[in-house]
Amino acid sequence: MPEAIGLDKVYSAIEEAARLLDVPCSLDQVSQALKAFGDELPDAHLVFSMAGGERHRGELDFDFSVSPKGLNPYATALAEGLAKETDHPVGSLLTEVQARFDIASYGVEYGVIGGFKKSYAFFPLDDLPPLAKLAEIPSMPPALAEHVSMLTSLGLDDKVSIIGLNYAKRTLNVYFGAAVVETEAKLSMLHAFGFPEPDARVAEFIKRSFSMYPTFNWDSSAAERICFSVKTQNPKELPAPFDPEIEKFACDVPQAYAGDREFVSAVALAPFGEAYYKLAAYYQKARESSKAAFAAKPN
């Protein structure tokens, strides 16, 4: 069982990871998250992540697991002043999901620059919710219901393992376990959403992906983007130029466990425009009580 670490070590690790990306790290900014979720962090699964490319650089996110006991992460963020109340459906969706389905654990994405960004709900791996039932929740983006038939035809009706809510961007990620999904079905989903054919290198990456997640908003029936993730100990297999910033992060990002560094690499595809790439590095592995669900989280 991993040894719990102190909050001072968590902050030092965040500061060190941010320095690798030339991201200014303010104790005042980060301490808000440490104060709000501090009881969770010593035993949490904690991941550092970055996005490659000029348009997406300049931020370090740290994701961490949260116990299903007590308030959900968004409610905690509201109570601690990390987020603002909204009458948009994104603000009520997590509570509505929580009322209808069992939650194995929650997760938070917090930016060194952007602050509180996302809440995640991880469903029990032996009790995943039916896609159609999720789509019926009142605050769900209507686009999800519009695509239930297509997603079901690809065998994805019982493979929703996680949802992620971005409060600033007002979007929803629906994570499908893709390890047992045929490559043809993955590519068919891209085609059904109107995405262009991926090049050979990206197609090979998609073939090996263990998770895929379309992003929906409340104003369109289209998917904004679709991401595919691969677990690896070799970040150079990311289908992107391995530029000095990515290499520096991959080689020197701190970790609090023995052995080789473990990563999740991801490619985010859009109907128009270029793909972009994300690399997440595990910093701390959770204790067994919350490990199973969060360890499956792609970034």
Tokens of 105: 């654990």
Confidence (pLDDT) at 54: 73
Answer whether residue 70 is part of any domain.
yes
* Number of structural domains found in the chain: 1
What is the distance between the alpha carbons of residues 293 and 53, in angstroms, rounded to a whole number? 30
What average pLDDT is seen over the chain?
Answer: 91
Angle between helices 200-207 and 183-192 in degrees, nearest 10: 120
Query: In Å, how far from its chain's centre is CA 178?
Result: 15
Q: Which residues contact 72 (CB under 8 A, 6 or more apart)?
A: 66, 94, 95, 98, 103, 106, 119, 121
Other beta carbons within 10 angstroms of residue 236's beta carbon come to 11
Query: What average pLDDT does the segment 55-65 reach?
Result: 91
Query: In Å, how far from its chain's centre is CA 146?
Result: 23
123, amino acid identity: F
Answer whether residue 235 is part of any domain.
yes
Alpha helical stretches, state H, the chain: 7-20, 27-37, 73-79, 90-100, 131-135, 142-146, 148-153, 183-192, 200-207, 244-252, 288-294
Angle between helices 7-20 and 27-37 in degrees, nearest 10: 140
* Residue 171 lies in domain: 7-294
Answer whether residue 217 is part of any domain.
yes
User: pTM for the full model?
Assistant: 0.92
Answer whether residue 28 is part of any domain.
yes
**More reliable by pLDDT, 167 or 245:** 167
What is the distance between the alpha carbons of residues 227 and 266, in angstroms, rounded to a whole number? 6
Answer whether residue 216 is part of any domain.
yes
- Would you place residue 5 in the very low, low, confident or very high pLDDT band (cuts 50, 70, 90)? low
Is residue 35 scored above 50 in pLDDT? yes
DSSP state of 8: H
Answer whether residue 1 is part of any domain.
no
What is the distance between the alpha carbons of residues 39 and 58, in angstroms, rounded to a whole number? 28
Answer whether residue 299 is part of any domain.
no
Query: What average pLDDT does the segment 17-46 reach?
Result: 90
Burial of 157 (0-12, 13-18, 19+ CB in 10 A): middle
**Buried/exposed 100-117: b ≥16 CB within 10 Å, e otherwise:** ebebbbbbbbbbbeeebb
> Are residues 286 and 295 in contact, defined by beta-carbon separation less than 8 angstroms?
yes
Q: Where is average pLDDT lowest: 169-178, 181-190, 265-274, 286-295?
A: 286-295
Region of 170 on the Ramachandran plot (φ > 0 left; ψ -120 to 50 alpha; else beta): left
Query: In Å, how far from its chain's centre is CA 155?
Result: 22
Say which residue the tokens 């030092």 belong to.
Answer: 12
Is residue 293 scored above 80 in pLDDT? no
> Are residues 6 and 42 in contact, defined by beta-carbon separation less than 8 angstroms?
yes
Answer whether residue 55 is part of any domain.
yes
